[in-house]
Amino acid sequence: MTVSLTWGDVCIHILIAALTGIIVSFIFLRFILYFLRPRIVISPEVAIEVDGAGIHTFWFKAVNHSKWEGFELNFSAEVISYEPAQNGCYHLKHSSIVPLVKGSFSMIPRYQSDRKIRKQRTSAPHCFQVRTMENISHIVQDKNHFVVLHVSCKHGLSGIFKSFDQEFTHQSTIKKGNFSFGNQLVVK
């Protein structure tokens, strides 16, 4: 028994294989780009710590919510101001950089639940706090200025970079105290 194929049959098989490959590649790429990207959550609050000498330190907190570790974690902060334009619109002007005491880290561990941290009686290594000596309170008192914290991270499995931003636009976002331990992003 012989099977004879015509050029039309061969072309249809090639077309079906090509379309199937494109669809599978698209689904795989969507999976990679959606599920295997870093997930960093930044606290919407800034903690003010005052030492015995009366020096104010302003703390920012970020938590890795990814199931994998991250690499090349970078923090940066800047002051942005509104500059009036035509018809009631505004330009955003990058005024200055807010110097951080340390803003680069080689690695951030993967997410751990608060329950797991308490069970192991360990630290929360996937939670990072960075600080500045710059007085953030004075910057946000002016309605035309705000501070933006930028966090960028490279996903440990896929290698995809992602950047996260948090704006601090009002005095109410700056609170005296320390951040709660673990995954909580509030100042107590």
Task: Specify the pLDDT at position 74.
Answer: 97
Rounded-to-integer distance, Cα 36 and Cα 70, Å: 11
Q: Which residues, including other chains, have CB under 8 Å from residue 78's CB and lie 6 or more apart?
A: 94, 95, 96, 97, 98, 147, 148, 150
Rounded-to-integer distance, Cα 29 and Cα 10, Å: 28
Same domain, 23 and 52: no
| DSSP structural state of residue 160 | -
What's the full length of the chain, in residues?
A: 188
Q: What is the pTM of this model?
A: 0.83
Task: Report yes or no on 18 lying in a domain.
Answer: yes
Task: Report yes or no on 96 lying in a domain.
Answer: yes
Same domain, 59 and 76: yes
Task: Report yes or no on 76 lying in a domain.
Answer: yes
Residues 147, 104, 131, CA angle at the centre, nearest 5°? 45
Task: Report yes or no on 134 lying in a domain.
Answer: yes
Task: Specify the pLDDT at position 119.
Answer: 83
Per-residue pLDDT of 89-115, as tens digits, reads 888 898 899 999 999 999 999 999 988
Task: Specify the pLDDT at position 10.
Answer: 87
Task: Specify the pLDDT at position 136.
Answer: 93
CATH number of the domain that residue 169 is part of: 2.60.40.1400
Helices (H), 57-155: 114-120, 136-141
Lookup: tokens for 124: 């929360």
Closest CA to 168 of 153, 183, 184, 150: 150
Overall domain count for the chain: 2
Same domain, 47 and 129: yes
Same domain, 21 and 72: no
Find where tokens 């002016």 sit: 142
Task: Specify the pLDDT at position 49.
Answer: 95
Full domain range(s) for residue 27: 1-35
Same domain, 50 and 29: no
Task: Specify the pLDDT at position 1.
Answer: 65
Task: Report yes or no on 185 lying in a domain.
Answer: no
Same domain, 116 and 26: no
Task: Give the residues of the chain that fall short of pLDDT 50.
Answer: none
